[in-house]
Amino acid sequence: MTLRDPRTLHPQPPFEKQPQDPPGLDAKMKPVPADGAESWVGHGRLEGRKALITGGDSGIGRAVAIAYAREGAEVVINYLPEEEPDAESLAEIFEADGNTLHRMPGDLMDEAFARQLVKDAAEKMGGLDIMVVNAGKQVTQPDIASISSEQFDQTMKTNVYAMFWMCQEAMAIMPPGSSIIPVTSIQGYDPAPQLLDYATTKYAMRGFTIGLAKQAIEKGIRVNGVAPGPIWTALQPSGGQTQEAVTQHGAGAPIGRPGQPSELAGAFVYLASDEASYTIGEILGVTGGAPTA
């Protein structure tokens, strides 16, 4: 096996400005994020498992969906209707692999939908034993005065309320051996001033994950989180960062570049698998060297 320098393994800044309307599409990014379709090789670590992934059409969720399916899991993804082009291209990857992608579009800010999504996913697959809470809302604002109550409310509902609603439903139906994996962020440790409301939700998700883990293990369910650093996803150019920041995305990480979604998939496979049977209430940082302690 040829060793490769991680600093140059994937594209480095500067990138070009590339504004998109939210929620953004992977397919329109330059370069297109690496989702693992060309690199992930499965080894049967999730054979027979049944996974629900929110924000599964693009970015981190897309890479996790590909890895989970290739490891043997059946997969349901949730995404916003506007993200259908990315979901369709993901379905084509699944079909080429001989797998079926179950698609359940809808807005997680709607409590009734978020709760029903868990039940529908379990019904579709004949059970549910992995849930990745990945969908998120991030809008950059220069200061607190620029954050409207509407934006604050939407960010809270998408990132925190939806997680709470879905975890309540999942805990009622998941069997022992199941795994819940919320996606927090480096922002839950080192908040950027221009992402005040987003960082607030990521702190909340971090605390929720650690607290729920102590309850859930009493039912044999493991809860752990993943904290990504600066990752090259459509969240960034569609309002998550200024266009000037997009051109330098990841430059401040010790590794000198943004992470690619495919570089996080292994963390999610590990946490969902029996290899992590003694890992409970942990937040696994995948940050390109930025500290999470």
Tell how strand 130-133 and strand 179-182 pair up: parallel
Check if 198 is active-site.
Answer: yes
129, burial (CB in 10 Å: exposed 0-12, middle 13-18, buried 19+): buried
If we measure between CA atoms, which residue out of 150, 158, 138 comes closest to residue 54? 158
- Helical ranges in 126-224 per DSSP H: 149-156, 162-173, 196-216
Q: What angle do CA 62, 66, 68 make, to 5 degrees?
A: 110
Residue 231 β-bridge partners: 259
Tell how strand 222-223 and strand 225-228 pair up: unpaired
- Residue 36's alpha-carbon distances to 58, 62, 213, in angstroms, are 12, 9, 29
If we measure between CA atoms, which residue out of 106, 53, 46 comes closest to residue 80? 106
Catalytic annotation, pick one of 198, 203, 270, 278 = 198
Residue type, 88: E
The strands making up 50-54's β-sheet, listed across from edge to edge, are: 101-103, 74-78, 50-54, 130-133, 179-182, 222-223
Q: Are 155 and 201 in contact (CB under 8 A)?
A: yes
If we measure between CA atoms, which residue out of 219, 217, 191 comes closest to residue 206? 191
Catalytic residue positions? 198
